[in-house]
Amino acid sequence: MLSKKFLVVMKKIVKLLCSFLITAAGYSQPNDTGIAIIPAPVSVTKTSGHFILPQKVSIEAGSQGEMKQVIAFLKDRLSVAATGNVTVANTLPTATIRLQLNNTADNSIGKEGYKLSVTPKNILIKANEPAGLFYGVQTLVQLFPKEIESAAPVKNVKWQVPCVNITDYPRFGWRGLMFDVSRHFFTKEDVKKYIDDMVRYKFNLLHLHLTDDEGWRIEIKGLPKLTEVGAWNVKKEGYFGTFSPPAPDEPRNYGGFYTQDDIKELVQYAKERFVNILPEIDVPGHSLAAVVSYPELSCTPGVEKYVVRSGEQIMDWSQGAPPIALVDNTLCPANEKVYEFLDKVITQVAQLFPFEYIHVGGDETPQNFWKQSEAIKGLMQKEGLKDMHEVQGYFEKRLEKIVLSKGKKFMGWDEILEGGLAPSAAVMSWRGVKGGIQAARMKHEVVMSPTTFAYIDYMQGDSLIEPRIYATLRLNKAYQFEPMPDSVEAKYILGGQGNLWTEQIYNMRHAQYMTWPRGFALAESLWSPKEKKNWNNFFHRVEDHFERFDIAEKKYAPSVYEPIFTVSRNADKQISIVLSTEAEGIDIYYTFDNSFPDRFYPKYTAALIPPKDAVMLKVVTYRGKKQVGRLITMRDEEWRKRADRNR
Ligand code: ACM
């Protein structure tokens, strides 16, 4: 017989263990607790009970100007839920929701952190700075039922929030997304929408890729042709990069640019939401829009009449990097006019964007036109430059001086390492993380945005269904993004960002589709403690956020639900198609008889051998009774092609 004392002790131990489990699982079991916060907070302790939203909500918040959007956002979301009105006041002893700035700094949460406490009586968010309150509010909204995301008021929802204590702060200060507004132009309103979406997941940096071969997107006073000529091309649809060259009489009326007033408005809009905008002027390559506007800036003035690119082929990548340019899209480092031009551009960019860095590109510069240029040969002799990398290095160092002279820090893609890094340069590492590691070892600041984990222009699933792009980055791979290499001093790694290049992105809905859910994964890598990351747990939360996006009518990619196809030939030379999924608990159903599979069709359990005369495999995925993936069809020629490629 067990003694009574022993049983009491055991009971206490079990109770203690249970409370630990609740704490540990606080945010990790959305289905059990209803808590599914992305990015995962530093610490979540679930306590008992709920806060039930009253019909009339009162918010106490300070009156500082920086609180404007914090309050406006919360009020806007609560108006979906509160049947009565939402009032806000500076001091309100009876407030149901309090947003409080600490009088004495709480060193445990830094500038962007917050503490959120929900009790049955009220909700309190405390932070050192308004940014922290903004992020606390984002977390609070995620604690409400998903209907809070609706654009219009929703009835018949139990508007309650589980009681919790959350302490939260970011792992990295640089949590970015790059939006390429050059390849396709996105309006000022589109950019605002992109900012609205990114801040929900605590991103704080928007990198605007403002110039490229397809368009110059920022008004520069005194250089009118950049936007009169350089911002316009011919509208084409299909697969960008393979378009037929536009005929001379095709209208060049596709594109656009931001006036300086537009830029000021965007900067202000971003600032109110605690987002810095990093402007990028991509030179000396990717500069066709500038060269077309002012041909004297190239090493080949008058050689040929160039036009702003509309997606026709202008580079030959068959020999690898650097590419061979078929038209000269480079500024000429041997031409003093180029530095005068850049001084004018950077002066105005520096005045328009308060952020401390200016990004000046430096990537993928073709060298073939430079190699043929007498002016470049003269420069090499004069400056003792050995090769074209050093020619670019010379250019970057001169540009660095211009950027520094405007009181800004100089940043470029990792190619700027190749010709001898400019003394103060910060490096954005995109060709993997090795450039970033090299730069950090040289004591330069680094932002990690490697293609391998952070290129959100890549396909999210199989090219059978995704718009075709030359590479794939699935959600689970994006979730493995680790911005901090082991072997460098942490202080040099500012953080990381995802890059949304838009050659194949023609509109905002598709920009959303490409950004989410991979943006969730990147947000978690940049905000949450490394040890909190857990794929299965994350994926459950992603599914909760998919439902939130559905209610908000925001677009996202369901590709993570769709199968990975591995095609080969087995020992008997038969085609074998292996299907797998990124997430657990997803069932795949298939047909070879051309009809449309649903969950009453054969369920995939082992490698498929196509029947002798079959011409297509159709697959679809379910979670339980709910179809989650889209119908995907693989034709017989495709499975043969893939099997032979994998031999
Ligand atoms: C890049 O993707 N060319 C930076």
Tell whether ligand 1 has an atom less than 6 A from the beta carbon of residue 455: no
What's the confidence (pLDDT) of residue 301? Answer: 83
Separation between Cα atoms, residue 33 and residue 26, nearest integer Å = 7
Round the average pLDDT of the chain to a whole number and report it: 94
- What value does the mean pLDDT take over residues 364-378? 97
Tell whether ligand 1 has an atom less than 6 A from the beta carbon of residue 363: yes
Closest C-alpha to ligand 1, atom 2: 430
DSSP H or E segment with residue 508: helix 508-515
Tokens encoding 109:
């949460």
pLDDT classification of 303: cutoffs 50, 70, 90: low
- What value does the mean pLDDT take over residues 531-558? 97
Tell whether ligand 1 has an atom less than 6 A from the beta carbon of residue 369: no
Could you confirm whether 598 is annotated as catalytic?
no
Tell whether ligand 1 has an atom less than 6 A from the beta carbon of residue 457: no
User: Residue 527 in contact with residue 27, Cβ under 8 Å?
Assistant: no
User: Residue 475 in contact with residue 517, Cβ under 8 Å?
Assistant: yes
Indicate whether 20 pLDDT > 50.
no
pLDDT per residue as tens digits for the range 595-626: 999 999 999 999 999 999 999 999 999 999 99
Cβ-proximal residues to 249 (8 Å cutoff; 6+ apart), any chain:
none
Q: Which of 53-57, 158-162, 360-364, 512-516 has the lowest mean pLDDT?
A: 53-57
What's the confidence (pLDDT) of residue 27? Answer: 39
What's the confidence (pLDDT) of residue 26? Answer: 37
Closest CA to 429 of 394, 481, 471: 481
What's the confidence (pLDDT) of residue 31? Answer: 41
User: Residue 190 in contact with residue 512, Cβ under 8 Å?
Assistant: no
pLDDT per residue as tens digits for the range 464-474: 999 999 999 99
More confident residue, 586 or 22: 586
User: Residue 393 in contact with residue 420, Cβ under 8 Å?
Assistant: yes
pLDDT classification of 253: cutoffs 50, 70, 90: very high
Tell whether ligand 1 has an atom less than 6 A from the beta carbon of residue 174: no
Separation between Cα atoms, residue 639 and residue 643, nearest integer Å = 6
- What value does the mean pLDDT take over residues 62-80? 91
Separation between Cα atoms, residue 57 and residue 412, nearest integer Å = 48
CA 519, 522, 528: angle at the middle one, nearest 5? 125
- DSSP calls for 221-280: TT-THHHHTTTEE----SSTTSBPPPPTTS---EE--B-HHHHHHHHHHHHHTT-EEEEE
Could you confirm whether 587 is annotated as catalytic?
no
More confident residue, 309 or 2: 309
More confident residue, 572 or 8: 572
- What value does the mean pLDDT take over residues 370-385? 98
pLDDT classification of 89: cutoffs 50, 70, 90: confident
Give residue 600's region: left, alpha or beta (phi > 0; psi -120 to 50). Answer: alpha
Which amino acid, residue 120? P
CA 410, 320, 366: angle at the middle one, nearest 5? 50
Ligand 1 atom showing the smallest separation from residue 499 Cα: 2
Q: Give percent of the chain above pLDDT 70.
A: 94
Closest C-alpha to ligand 1, atom 3: 363
Separation between Cα atoms, residue 106 and residue 85, nearest integer Å = 33
What's the confidence (pLDDT) of residue 22? Answer: 38
Closest C-alpha to ligand 1, atom 1: 363
**Mutation to probe ligand 1, out of 208, 209, 430, 457 (largest number of atoms < 8 A from CB):** 430
Ligand 1 atom showing the smallest separation from residue 364 Cα: 3
Helix axes 260-272, 336-352, angle to 10 degrees: 50
Indicate whether 302 pLDDT > 80.
no
What's the confidence (pLDDT) of residue 33? Answer: 65
Rounded to the nearest 5 percent, the helix, strand and coil shares of the chain are: 35, 20, 45
Which amino acid, residue 433? V
More confident residue, 645 or 382: 382
From first CA to last CA, the distance across the chain in angstroms is 67
More confident residue, 14 or 115: 115
218 strand-pairing partners:
258
* Centre of ligand 1 from the C-alpha of residue 430, in Å: 6
- What value does the mean pLDDT take over residues 366-372? 97
Tell whether ligand 1 has an atom less than 6 A from the beta carbon of residue 341: no
Strand 276-283, strand 205-209: pairing: parallel
What's the confidence (pLDDT) of residue 18? Answer: 38
- What value does the mean pLDDT take over residues 169-195? 98
Q: How far is CA 529 from the centre of its chain?
A: 19
Ligand 1 atom showing the smallest separation from residue 428 Cα: 4
Separation between Cα atoms, residue 292 and residue 115, nearest integer Å = 53
Tell whether ligand 1 has an atom less than 6 A from the beta carbon of residue 430: yes
User: Residue 460 in contact with residue 475, Cβ under 8 Å?
Assistant: yes
**Three-state DSSP class for residue 364:** coil
**Three-state DSSP class for residue 7:** helix
Q: How far is CA 320 from the centre of its chain?
A: 26
Which amino acid, residue 560? V
Separation between Cα atoms, residue 124 and residue 114, nearest integer Å = 10
What's the confidence (pLDDT) of residue 21? Answer: 38
Indicate whether 66 pLDDT > 70.
yes
Separation between Cα atoms, residue 95 and residue 598, nearest integer Å = 51
Separation between Cα atoms, residue 166 and residue 164, nearest integer Å = 6
pLDDT per residue as tens digits for the range 414-433: 999 999 999 999 999 999 99
Q: Could you list the beta-strand ranges (E) of 536-596.
A: 564-569, 575-580, 587-591
Burial 331-361 (b: 16+ CB within 10 A, else e): bbbbbeebbebbbebbbbbbebbebebbbbb
Classify residue 583 by its DSSP letter. Answer: S
Tell whether ligand 1 has an atom less than 6 A from the beta carbon of residue 458: no
Q: Give percent of the chain above pLDDT 90.
A: 89
Tokens encoding 496:
């990381």
Could you confirm whether 364 is annotated as catalytic?
yes
Taken in order of first residue, the domains within the chain and their CATH numbers are 38-168 (3.30.379.10), 174-552 (3.20.20.80), 562-645 (2.60.40)
Strand 43-52, strand 160-168: pairing: antiparallel
